[in-house]
Structure 1
């Protein structure tokens, strides 16, 4: 993939022409099924267990993972050497996604521990870094550094990207029009980056703020067709604010290499249950939007400035602000596709739990009050490397 700030890795099993990546399957009918497959890619920091600082050891950790676990297709590098990325295959159910993502996290954690490090799923580094320049050793990453210059110096952020099978890029653009106003709710629910290199930013998702500095990131434009989408990407590229019009890094996009709608705004979640249930919510959002496209609804023409401001507010306030109430309404809005997938109860209960009890950002601040910033890192590591078996077992029982 060409350089661009978030998601600059190679995507989710993104070999050109391969339909066995995050959402495999053919192009038959070019229409989304009632319950499409979905998958996730996540980015994780590598941290030193003593200092809690991020470590530029991605090369060593990936070599270890590939030699010991055979995870060559599911673990890869990222924009900085402080990070690695995990990818799931296409999944049909929440339970399957949980199993696959849990396996990815276990493999990544084993490899990190073998190199004397730990896995930490946080949107931004809680503490500092061991090196000042740890850009990944890839020509496209270096090109991104040349293009954006000092804007990239603190660009070490970790996201969750959700892919939902959609075989027609033109249809994916129209689906994206319906998703645009819903993005602030996902930003709030997933917010997991209140600290940045030793300081409390005052935000729930500082990663979102870092990303919004870039003119090529953030909410996507409204586009009536794939041709209009392409023209807008080409216009941004002409200003040198985007490196490749074929590879925009907006928060929703038709993935350039996969038959998917890709949602890119969430912070990575330390808690596995939050990760998989928000992914299931994202799938329901895409499915509901696809039904609206089928009915001929062009989607709300929310202005770019208004939408960007709403995402900023969600990043600042998290679930305690207006986006928290929007998240509850969102579940009601996508109730039918959640029911069709068997995901209504686990997703609805988890969203209510997040809105009432706080997101990952709130959990980080609670840990800081109890044990300082090193305590925050320790809690994140524990969550990132541990599967919450109780909730998983409850879901299996309700489905069995």
Structure 2
């Protein structure tokens, strides 16, 4: 099957997907209630969609097409509120966060859906270990070639996205010393990583045809890249964000992406090239491991600097474009945390340091998702 045509979309439009945790209210471990949640949620007309994910303790919500971060928040809010009402009926809770702090992967059940069963057969235990939770942000692109340029320009900012969204310090009851341990599970998949550095859709079609010719790939869904084109939507999809603990932060992250994209389209600040990827894996590791304390190596200059400083510099560069897109409040929210070297991973560690009980940390994370004070 050939690569589908790249559909038209309105440039700089947004779509956001959030993978969420379903928790029991006894010890706040994961609970296999996806089917019940979907049944209850189907009774409420909402923007976007609510769908199952790989295992039965996960659920994914998504917005419809949005034009601003405030519209993203405006759609996520009623979906979140409906989730909370449905969860209360089932005596369970819903939470953000990139990993559940103490669930055991071997206890997770694959959701009964043909694609999930197929992936489970192919990847074995990795499919159950894929009980991790991410935010995906789609950004509309003018055309197919512009999408590839956007994708590779965005790749320089993957460490920024990781550090700003990191919310997965705990895995299987242990502090991993990573701010984003979730991505370590993604990296285990053979088709993860980065897209090939091709800058025209014709070249990308040739690459896709070669990959499908090997029998390894059937569709774009088989690529678990950090950013991938979504031709059916006319977007690129950024996939490295951990699910934040609040919908406000999720919306702010989409505003940051939109502001970057507007800057790229307006000024075309640099031409992507293969050498940009010389430090890609190193920068990504630094952001996963150290979050706001990471070192960033500029692909263009080779200069080493604190990632926090580069994030703040980037926010200054795109401030005018953020204002035009109505995303200035998004940058303000994120900047305040960057200046304090704060992210959700640090918040979770602070809660655990105080409580000394991961179940209580998860309970407080669920309260934050509800929008209640902790």
Does TM-score exceed 0.5, indicating one fold? yes
Change (3 A) 1:300 1:331: farther
After TM superposition, the score normalised by the length of structure 2 is 0.87
Counterpart CA distance in 2 for 1:159 and 1:137 is: 21
Describe the SS at the equivalent of 2:42.
helix
In the TM superposition, 1:336-351 aligns within 5 A as 336-351=320-335
Give the deviation of 1:38 after TM superposition. 1.4
- My pick for the range that moved more, 110-119 or 221-230, is 221-230
Shift of 1:193: 0.4
Q: Quote the residue 2:298 is aligned against.
A: none
- Any idea what the Cα deviations from partners look like across 1:143-202, whole Å, max 9, x if unmatched? 212222232231111111111222422321111111111111110110000011211111
Q: How does 1:219-230 map to 2 (within 5 A)?
A: 219-230=194-205
> Which one of the candidate residues 251, 256, 259 is aligned to 2:231?
256
Q: Which residue of 1 aligns with 2:168?
A: 193
Give the unaligned 5+ runs of structure 2: 296-306
Taking the aligned partners of 2:228 and 2:372, their CA distance within structure 1 comes to 30
Change (3 A) 1:246 1:153: closer
The equivalent position to 2:351 in structure 1, one of 353, 359, 367, is 367
Question: CA shift at 1:115, angstroms?
Answer: 1.3
- SS where residue 15 of structure 2 aligns? strand
Whether the 8 Å CA contact 2:47–2:63 is kept in 1: the answer is no
Supply the RMSD in Å over aligned alpha carbons: 2.7
Contact 1:58 1:84 in 2 (8 A): yes
Moved more, 199-208 or 92-101: 92-101
1:104 corresponding residue in structure 2? 79
1:299 is aligned to 2:272 = yes
Higher strand share: 2
Distance 2:273 2:324 in 1: 25
Residue 264 of structure 1 and its aligned partner are, at CA, apart by 1.2
Q: 1: distance between equivalents of 2:60 and 2:366?
A: 16
Change (3 A) 1:307 1:233: farther
Question: Which runs of no fewer than 5 residues in structure 1 stay unpaired?
Answer: 1-15, 18-25, 389-400
* Deviates most, 167-176 or 228-237: 228-237
Shift of 1:319: 0.9
Q: Which residue of 2 aligns with 1:11?
A: none
1:248, distance to aligned residue in structure 2 (A): 2.8
Counting only pairs closer than 5 Å after superposition, residues 273-292 of structure 1 correspond to structure 2 as 273-292=248-267
**Does residue 1:66 correspond to 2:39, yes or no?**
no
- Scaled by the length of structure 1, the TM-score of the pair is 0.82
The verdict on how the C-alpha distance between 1:387 and 1:329 changes in structure 2, with shifts beyond 3 A counting, is: farther
Change (3 A) 1:236 1:208: farther
Deviation per CA, 1:307-358: give whole Å up to 9, x if none.
Answer: 1221111000001222322221221232231121132354145223234141
Superposed displacement of residue 278, structure 1:
1.1
Contact 2:34–2:59 (CA under 8 A) maintained in structure 1 = yes
Between the aligned partners of 2:17 and 2:266, the Cα distance in structure 1 is 25
